[in-house]
Structure 1
Amino acid sequence: MRGCTFTQVYYNSCPKEIALRHLIFSLFVLTTVSFATVTVDGYAYLENQSDHSGINIIFDLRDNGAETNTATTDANGYFTVRIETKNYLITYAKDGYFPEYIKPRGTKEFDANTTLSSVTLIKQTKLNEFVNIIENIVVDNYRKLDLPQKLLTKIQLADTTSQTPPARHHRPDTSQPPPSNQATRFSKIAIPP
């Protein structure tokens, strides 16, 4: 018997070496089809830095959400990772920098080797410095506008003693429209006046 069916293998009517070959081949095909992988690479940079190492590129699996693959950049900002051919949400992250999310149409599907576009992460302190500058300007301007207490008291007294016009009361309109003439009715026979 050259080829054996599952039933023949189960009932030992097929030589074991042929059955073993079929089993190994089936597992190989199943593994190759279900776990096909691709290589994804690219560059990620840190703003105004010469060493771009330590940026984590996180490939979060969107189909079931359980699996995550991660790559880390080298000093030149280059990364490479082998992942399964599935849908992913990609996050570039490093402490002290704003994360960058890549999600075209919600996810990125990899079905072939891919080089991603380069990404530059912006340092978080820039926004914090901007907020501090704005906050200082607002506080300084408030202090410049801070009026002495005596002047504020005089303004408040002037407001309470000022004359305000009496409130107007709405009175309903009791006038009647002028009487109207009775409408002229036309018939098919009558000639209009």
Structure 2
Amino acid sequence: MIQTATFVISNSNPGNCPKPDRAEIAFIGRSNVGKSSLINMLVNQKGLAKTSQKPGKTQLINHFVINDKWYLVDLPGYGFAKVNLKVKQGWESMITTYLTKRENLCGVFVLIDSRLEPQQIDLEFLLWCGTQEVPTALVFTKADKQSKSKTDLNIQKFLKKTREMFGENPDYFVTSAEASTGKKELTKFMEQLVTEYTAR
């Protein structure tokens, strides 16, 4: 159970992240995938992660401490945010450095919009994570926005693509921030990751 969630620091330099002295789990996804809403739902706080109608609201690495035990990290989205190329390249190198060099990172949740057919940008990002050995799981968001059968169809199409890439299905969760769908399963999985990391 997530009892407390407290903002720690925002920064644009992975070198300035808090000391890697506890387990850390990060959330990332395409701009406007519903990341901040999902984080707020998981931690039971409406305004912890800043939500916005405009893609690209999260532009920094945001650390929150959970239950005084582990870090949850909100990363900038990749993709459609309307920012100039220089800023975009800066983000990309920041995210790359963070994902490949952060030694206490025990899980990365890649958020996928369940309303859409598989998007090339998501598949490319997952493939990159696979080649860099970044430990990822999938979180399908916005499951309440359409019929269950349509959501299931899009998820199955996406999983078929990941099987083609990796030969297996990754761990995945189906969520809705508004209906709190998937909250229990996702929280339990995060707790498992933290427990495993702490036991190492």
TM-score scaled by structure 2? 0.20
Larger radius of gyration: 1
TM superposition score normalised by structure 1: 0.20
Q: Which has the higher contact order (CA 8 A, sep 6+)?
A: 2
